[in-house]
Structure 1
Amino acid sequence: MATKKRSAAPTANKFVSKSSGNSLVPWLGLAAIIILLDQLSKITVTKLFTYGETLSITSFFNLVLAYNKGAAFSFLAAESGWQRYFFTAIGVVASLFIIYLLKQNAGQRLFCWALSLIMGGALGNVIDRLLYGHVIDFLDFHYKELYHFPAFNIADSAICIGAGLFILDELRRVKK
């Protein structure tokens, strides 16, 4: 018994590719989940803590409310304020470019996971810069109170994980 092959119904959505599994929507959804988790965690911490307040969770991890006017590791944080707009613009432009890449490569799962995490993290921090003028950080890892890794947040974590996945994807491509 032969089965009749179904043809894909045409779609008006320009973000959905005609080939199965190449939709942009799941990748934008993943970025939206990162943004939501990031913003909810930051709102929670700002409601529960005052600036600089620390809560020890383990011997190597604290929650602390910190503000970062710069970029990673407080790069350019001491500048006069122009960096807020500079890093906001970089985040927006990077996100637009990532959307383009996602649209072109929506079927490449690991690559798109990486890009979606990076975009969600970048936009999570852009929202902070626009609303508060700084990024809210609260995750503080340390070693015996001697060395504290700079405080960070869920958006930063998503960017780092996305960058790691991006490198892994490129290494896999090189092997092929």
Structure 2
Amino acid sequence: MLATLKQDHSKTMNQAEPTIDDSETAPVAVTSRAPASLVGRFWVFLGIALVGGWLDLWSKAAVFRWRGLPAQSDIWWVWEPYFGIETAVNIGAVFGVGAGRGSFFAAMSVVAAIGIVIWLFWFRAAESRWLTVALGMVGGGIIGNLYDRLGLWWQPGYPEQWQSGVRDWILWRINEQWTWPNFNIADSLLVVGAGMLLYQSFFPGQFIESAGNDGEPQEHETTNTA
């Protein structure tokens, strides 16, 4: 009888012991952002800048070869009288401001290009695809206009002031009183890129991401034990 009571008591104690859940000691997966590798974003930036710069320079050469130097031919209208093609040389900056200071603008372009590269890849702004594309467009605009500022298109016989001038050929206007100064593809890239940067400044945090080895956002798993 005593043996039976001891056996029943032992069973009761065993049942009362808490069971250990294996899941409490199993590794727990924690999702976190992988450290950003900017190699992919570098190629995105460089590709946009080079293609944009090439497209600008090619279009300038083609249009000036076709329509000649400024005042050598009439406006070729795409949509008269609002949009057309007319060659011009801007010896200043935006709206012709700073005429004759082409060397200064060329130096500022170089400084801006260096600043863009530092911002993207030293301060890691390239982790944002949005900023990478925006600054790639700005870089393409800088390449196209800097080529002209350095006088690499200029030829003997052209007016001396054109040596630091930028070739323009896109004409847009509402009427004769409201005519936008002629511009080019490089100017368009600069405006679009600046607009993207302005949007980012008004709506920060929308395009934050981490770049993987291929420039795409990546995640990796780490393990944690209890």
Does TM, scored on the shorter chain, surpass 0.5?
A: yes
1:68 to 90, 94, 111: 90
Q: Whole-Å Cα distance in 2 between the matches of residues 21 and 72 of structure 1?
A: 34
> Are the structure 2 counterparts of residues 18 and 172 from structure 1 closer, same or farther at C-alpha, using a change threshold of 3 Å?
closer
1:57 to 45, 55, 78: 78
Gaps of 5+ in 1: 1-16
1:168 aligns with 2:199: yes
Q: Is the partner of 2:92 in helix, strand or coil?
A: coil
Amino acid paired to 2:182:
A
Deviations 1:34-90 (A, max 9, x none): 10110010000110112233211112101000000100111122xxx3x11100000
> Are the structure 2 counterparts of residues 161 and 18 from structure 1 closer, same or farther at C-alpha, using a change threshold of 3 Å?
closer
Q: In the alignment, what sits opposite 2:133? A: 113
| Aligned-residue offset at 1:28 | 1.1
1:28 aligns with 2:46: yes
| Aligned-residue offset at 1:23 | 3.1
Q: Whole-Å Cα distance in 1 between the matches of residues 38 and 146 of structure 2?
A: 33
Query: What percent of counterpart residues are identical?
Result: 32
CA RMSD of aligned residues (A): 2.0
Count residues with an aligned counterpart: 156
Q: Which has the higher contact order (CA 8 A, sep 6+)?
A: 2
Q: In the alignment, what sits opposite 2:148? A: 128
1:137-148 alignment, distance < 5 Å? 137-148=168-179
Q: Whole-Å Cα distance in 1 between the matches of residues 38 and 103 of structure 2?
A: 39
Q: Whole-Å Cα distance in 2 between the matches of residues 119 and 41 of structure 1?
A: 17
Q: Whole-Å Cα distance in 2 between the matches of residues 115 and 57 of structure 1?
A: 30
TM-score (norm 2): 0.64
Amino acid paired to 1:55:
W
Amino acid paired to 2:103:
Y
Q: In the alignment, what sits opposite 2:10? A: none
Would you say the 8 A contact 1:27–1:102 is kept in 2?
no
TM-score (norm 1): 0.81
